[in-house]
Amino acid sequence: MIQTGRSALITGAGAGIGRATARAFIGAGWRVALMGRRDAALVETAESDEALILPADVGDPAAVEAAFAKVEERWGRLDVLFNNAGISLPARPIDEIPVADWLALCQTNITGMFLCARAAFGLMRRQEPQGGRIINNGSISAHVPRPGSAPYTMSKHAVTGLTRSLALDGRAFDIACGQIDIGNALTDMAAAFADGVPQAHGGIAPEPVMDPAHVAATVLHMAELPLSVNIPFVTVMARDMPYIGRG
């Protein structure tokens, strides 16, 4: 495998979309840092000794700073952050959602996104040559909700606000920011879609799903664009899922 010299950090790299994307970047010759809560899962993702393993909770400010410091120490720069880590909650009306569950989701989906973007932005500002790219993982829920999804939907609308702000503020420092909104990639989080999930009409129905490899390929395409080019928002989804016509 030919190394490109470019470096990327992927959060939530221990499973699902993060794992698929990490392996796509490694296969394309990138130097890849894998960040997630479970060390063993990150090692399994890497499938080699070439990746930088960073066990850390994205919602922990000190852990995030330490992880990005290791990237800077190892490679001297960061070219791409795939800000991917996120969690969801079981579907239920808002008054049945424990406040503790809401706070835990926010710690990962909002605070974690902010902390990792903040650390990446700072490194990309001070490195030479200056610049880089941040790719945030949004969701179809950043556009339209599913039934009973108030916490997750709110968090993904927040991600869109972060993307728009960074895309503007990054211009002065040659930092691009874009967002990938994903629909029904077949990960553990979305495994129930094929069996049947609540629909807007009140019923339960199965939904089409897609291979996460298509998400990984799209993220890699965004990452390999020159910094003078940006894809601010892109939606990748199982073609027939209820999004077009749902909202």
Tokens representing 199 are 């629909």
What residue ranges in 57-153 does DSSP mark as E strands?
80-83, 132-137
Name the strands in the sheet holding 233-237, side by side, starting at the edge strand that comes first in the sequence: 52-55, 31-36, 7-11, 80-83, 132-137, 175-183, 233-237
How far apart CA 87 and CA 162 sit, in angstroms, is 17
The DSSP code for 135 is E
Tokens 């799209």 correspond to what residue? 218
Q: Is 152 a residue of the active site? A: yes
How far apart CA 104 and CA 29 sit, in angstroms, is 35
**Candidates 152, 167, 187, 222; catalytic one:** 152
How far apart CA 74 and CA 58 sit, in angstroms, is 20
Residues with a catalytic annotation lie at: 152
